[in-house]
Amino acid sequence: MTCERRPYADPYVTGACLGLVLLAAFVITGRGLGASGAFATTAAGLTHAIAPAQAEANPYFARYLAGDGPWRDWLLFEIGGVALGGAVSAWAAGRLRGQIERGPGARSPARLVLGFAGGAVMGLGAVLARGCTSGLALTGGALLSVGAWLFMLAAFAGAYLAAPVLRRVWR
Amino acid sequence: MTAPWIDGDTSAAGLAIAVGCGAAFGAALERAGLGSARKLVGQFYGTDLTVLKVMLSAIVVAMLGAFWLGQLGVLDLARVAVPETWLAPQLVGGVVFGAGMAIAGLCPGTSCVAAASGRGDGLAVMLGMFSGVLVTGLAFAPLRALYEATARGPLTLSAWLGVPYGAVVLAVVAIALAGFGIAERIERPA
């Protein structure tokens, strides 16, 4: 076994492969990929487990409780696959190792706090937009959805507006 | 048989395919290096435009595939779910989401890849994302007016602009190629 960490693959080749995976999802199931929906269905399911009446009365969570219920959700299984595929790929390339990745301007505790805070802000944005970079931008982008392209432009604008403020954290 | 082949996506077969598609998706993100927050934020500082290159190549390949399989009658595009357009919440939500991405250094999908490849910061972003969705869901009432504003249904660029599907496809390919050229120029050290 070699412990050498291999460099990342070419972005155009991996992007094209990702496109073929997305196309396969369209052809096999008639739906695209996603991520934020798995977080939403988990939030709805946990709320329902603790306070069933409140969850069912909540107009946002109620949608995830309908049909087969919050735990038998396509995106929840898909995101489990994402973690599995990411772990296997990292292991095969010698990149699987415990670490807290951070920019030179943030110590590890600060990085974790900022990661959590940034994640929470993304959660708010993803609820409002009904999706994230995977389910809305990628999937909708390929299907030429107006909302997907609007979201993509808005997200890049938001990130570029916030980036100068965070320069000392990352650079 | 005309695709899509599976209708009930929460059948046992549908969920097995979900795991398979997810695994391939996660592996592609990991290979591209997008499980790394420092690599991902390079996009916003002009040092590493992997995010743009991966996203646009993926969109172009899937878009061309869907278009041509539709033209050939292999894929029934009427049965492929186009994400719905809600102008105001997607504009506001997009800006908020983007700011969160610059703070977190990862997006929801790549945070799962980061955590799965051993990164504690990826796990922190996942927990934050979950908390954000949970709190927003619990405090949904004041956001509902914005959430349900300006519904446009599954509107496509071609329907909105009144331009043929193929012409929009061609335009997106041209924009992507121009984007790749600009990305390579930005990355090259001055």
How far is residue A111's CA from residue B17's CA, in Å, rounded to a whole number? 35
Give the pLDDT band of residue A42 (cuts 50, 70, 90): very high
Which residues on chain A are in Cβ contact (under 8 Å) with B158? 144
Tokens 């009144």, located at residue: B162
Q: What is the tens place of the pLDDT at every residue in B69-123? A: 999 999 999 999 999 999 999 999 999 999 999 999 999 999 999 999 999 999 9
pLDDT of residue A28: 95
Across-strand partners of A99? B119
φ/ψ (deg, to 5) at A145: -70, 130
Return the residue in B43, B112, B144 with the most chain A beta carbons within 10 A, the one to mutate for interface testing: B112
How far is residue B127's CA from residue A114's CA, in Å, rounded to a whole number? 12
Give the pLDDT band of residue A1 (cuts 50, 70, 90): very low
Contact (CB<8Å) A124/B24: no
pLDDT at A2 over 70: no
- Maximum Cα–Cα distance across chain A: 55
Q: What is the tens place of the pLDDT at every residue in A47-78? A: 999 999 999 999 999 999 998 999 999 999 99
Q: What is the tens place of the pLDDT at every residue in A116-162? A: 999 999 999 999 999 999 999 999 999 999 999 999 999 999 999 99
Return the residue in B90, B169, B186 with the most chain A beta carbons within 10 A, the one to mutate for interface testing: B90
What does the mean pLDDT of chain A come to?
96
How far is residue A120's CA from residue B104's CA, in Å, rounded to a whole number? 9
The single-letter DSSP state of residue B3 is B
Q: What is the tens place of the pLDDT at every residue in B117-147? A: 999 999 999 999 999 999 999 999 999 999 9
How far is residue B33's CA from residue A18's CA, in Å, rounded to a whole number? 13
pLDDT of residue A6: 86
Peptide bond into B89 cis (omega under 30): no
pLDDT of residue B10: 87
How far is residue A54's CA from residue A47's CA, in Å, rounded to a whole number? 8
What is the token pair recorded at B7?
A: 């209708």
Q: Does B166 touch chain A (CB under 8 A)?
A: no
- The whole-angstrom distance between residue B105's C-alpha and the CA centroid of its chain comes to 16
User: Chain B, 28-67: which have a CB under 8 Å from a chain A CB?
Assistant: 28-33, 35-39, 41, 43-45, 50, 53-63, 65-66
Q: Does A106 touch chain B (CB under 8 A)?
A: no
Which residues on chain B are in Cβ contact (under 8 Å) with A137? 55
Which residues on chain B are in Cβ contact (under 8 Å) with A23? 61-62, 65-66, 69
How far is residue B101's CA from residue B40's CA, in Å, rounded to a whole number? 9
pLDDT of residue A144: 98
How far is residue A152's CA from residue B32's CA, in Å, rounded to a whole number? 20
pLDDT of residue B190: 57
Tell which residue, B58, B56, B37, B57, has the closest CA to residue B48: B37
